[in-house]
Amino acid sequence: MTAPTETAPDRRHAPPEFPAGFRWGAATAAFQVEGALDADGRTPSVWDTFTAVPGRVDNGDRADLAVDHYRRYRDDVALMAQLGLNTYRFSVSWPRVQPDGRGAANPKGLDFYSRLVDELLANGIEPMLTLYHWDHPQVLQDAGGWANRDMTERFADYASLVAARLGDRVPLWVTLNEPWCTAFLGHASGIHAPGVADDATTLTVAHHLNLAHGLGVQALRAALPGTAQVSIALNPAPVRTPVDTPENQDAVRRADALRNRIFLDPLLRGQYPADLIADTAHITDWGFVRDGDLATATAPIDVLGVNYYTPLYVAAGPGPADPYNRWVGSDGLVHIAPADGPSTIHGVVDAAALRELLNRIRHDYGPVPIVIAENGVASPDIVGPDGRVDDAGRVAYLHAHLAALHDAITDGVDVRGYVMWSLIDNFEWVYGYSQRFGLIHVDRDTQRRTVKDSGHWFRQVIAANAIPPLDPPAAG
């Protein structure tokens, strides 16, 4: 063994580095952080309506104040700068910007995002803007929402309004966040807004979302400078089964079609999977897919956003149905939770599955550039007597997922960035404020912000563009 020389440093124990120019960020969504639901001309969104129904949200929590980001955005950007983020992913509230869901923009609504973007740029942070993170104007839901094909045109109009105002300063645009959640949680299980539970509607909505994405891409390309990048954030997941029987493998195929390929295939192949259409033929003839729709849905994107939390586990019945995942057209599928291992509100923690997922996308769909647009974990964080928030569990989670991501890059997957969910504790949909996902803790009574240990650790990651050890050896 030769000793390392000055010209050839021993890098065997160096922390794994990420590619030069890698984007490091954290994410939020408008309804989850902004509050100010009545401010400056905003109208109610479908989530305002949903959360007002008793029993829908844990503890009866409401998003009226959320974490008051609408008023505190400057302080929050200062905290982002302290963390060293070079990217911030946020979403625009459609009812703030276009309160009637059609027609002219509300200048005051756009002003807020314009001020936010300027503040980010002044702090050296690139804005990554999501147009739709689930909160469309209630007035559009009254006209049928995503079940109504007209909604796709409404979305494209809204995209044009936002792009016209912010296109000169926002380099990365995301059309939709997790259309699976809108379609399946919103219209199959009904546990998200608008709270519909109808299988045929779910598939119609899924298609309208795919179409809206494509129309949104067209609208953005028409309004944005050529340097701007366009994306969508999907939440694909590896699907697993406990025992490898032919029946269970068929369950995996069906679940994979409903969770993954129903969005990935139109987007990246311009078609729906034949097996999905066959599996659901007793529900719909898919007549809502019109000539030209798939060509629109497959409009080229610059980067694919992947939100990853957990793999799925299914088997052929009989057994317990999964209230979260309603397997439209495949009633025999049951949910089999793995017997051991840590789990969260999303399911088991499985970092290796992120590497598997990214390799699968590359293998099946080609070398599309990817940004991890969400990944994170909730924990019951508190500010200790020493003023610290000790969230060692989140640090371990991030460490494991970044290692898996690094492995995927080494495998050859073209990953351009990692955006953590979430920047800050916020309104976690049906869980209200009971689940804390942030790198920054928020005291619910005072709105006081405290950077958690995970935030300090993430700052080291960003500064080094590499994964530091979990427990750095003591100096000396």
Two tokens, residue 251: 């369950």
Q: Do residues 314 and 253 touch, judged by C-beta distance below 8 A?
A: no
- Provide the residue count of the chain: 476
- Spell out the SS3 assignment of 62-90: CCCCCCCHHHHHHHHHHHHHHHCCCEEEE
The one among 22, 26, 29, 371 contacting ligand BGC by CB under 6 A: 29
Active site residue 178: yes
Q: Which is nearer to ligand BGC, 177 or 260 (CB)?
A: 177
Task: Name the active-site residue from 119, 126, 374, 428.
Answer: 374
Our finding on whether 284 is near ligand BGC (CB under 6 A) is no
Q: Do residues 128 and 68 touch, judged by C-beta distance below 8 A?
A: no
DSSP class per residue in 175-234: EEE-HHIIIIIHHTS--STT----HHHHHHHHHHHHHHHHHHHHHHHHHS-TT-EEEEEE
Contact code string over 414-453 relative to ligand BGC, x by CB under 6 A = -------x------x--------x----------------
Q: Which residues of 238-249 are buried (b: 16+ CB within 10 A; e: fewer)?
A: bbbbeeeeeebe
* CB neighbourhood size of 199 (10 A): 18
Q: How far is the CB of 385 from ligand BGC (least distance, A)?
A: 29
Q: How far is the CB of 427 from ligand BGC (least distance, A)?
A: 8
Q: Do residues 455 and 83 touch, judged by C-beta distance below 8 A?
A: yes
How far is 173 from 460, CA to CA, in rounded Å?
27
How many residues form the binding site for ligand BGC (CB under 6 A)? 11
Q: How far is the CB of 103 from ligand BGC (least distance, A)?
A: 28
Q: Which stretch binds ligand BGC (CB under 6 A): 151-159, 174-182, 197-205, 397-405?
A: 174-182
Residues 206-245 that bind ligand BGC (CB under 6 A): 235
CA dihedral 62, 63, 67, 69 (to 10 degrees): -160
Please report, in angstroms and rounded to a whole number, the separation of the first and last CA atoms in the chain: 26
Closest to 171 (Cα-Cα) out of 358, 19, 18, 23? 23
Distances (CA, A) of 274 to 258, 261, 271, 278: 12, 10, 9, 6
Beta strands 440-442; 449-451: pairing state: antiparallel
Distances (CA, A) of 402 to 183, 376, 465, 473: 29, 11, 11, 20
Distances (CA, A) of 90 to 159, 223, 420: 15, 20, 12
Residues 70-109 that bind ligand BGC (CB under 6 A): none
Our finding on whether 126 is near ligand BGC (CB under 6 A) is no
Q: Which is nearer to ligand BGC, 358 or 424 (CB)?
A: 424
Task: Name the active-site residue from 34, 119, 126, 178.
Answer: 178
Q: Which is nearer to ligand BGC, 91 or 106 (CB)?
A: 91
Q: How far is the CB of 168 from ligand BGC (least distance, A)?
A: 27
Q: Which stretch binds ligand BGC (CB under 6 A): 63-71, 157-165, 175-183, 440-448?
A: 175-183
Two tokens, residue 442: 């928020």
Q: How far is the CB of 378 from ligand BGC (least distance, A)?
A: 7
Residues 323-382 that bind ligand BGC (CB under 6 A): 374
Q: How far is the CB of 37 from ligand BGC (least distance, A)?
A: 17
Q: Which is nearer to ligand BGC, 18 or 180 (CB)?
A: 180
Q: How far is the CB of 246 from ligand BGC (least distance, A)?
A: 32
Q: How far is the CB of 184 from ligand BGC (least distance, A)?
A: 12
Q: Which is nearer to ligand BGC, 210 or 235 (CB)?
A: 235
Our finding on whether 177 is near ligand BGC (CB under 6 A) is yes
The one among 34, 48, 61, 178 contacting ligand BGC by CB under 6 A: 178
Q: Please, what sign has the CA dihedral across residues 92, 98, 100, 106? A: positive
Q: Which residues bind ligand BGC (CB under 6 A)?
A: 29, 32, 177-178, 181, 235, 307, 374, 421, 428, 437
User: Catalytic site residues?
Assistant: 178, 374
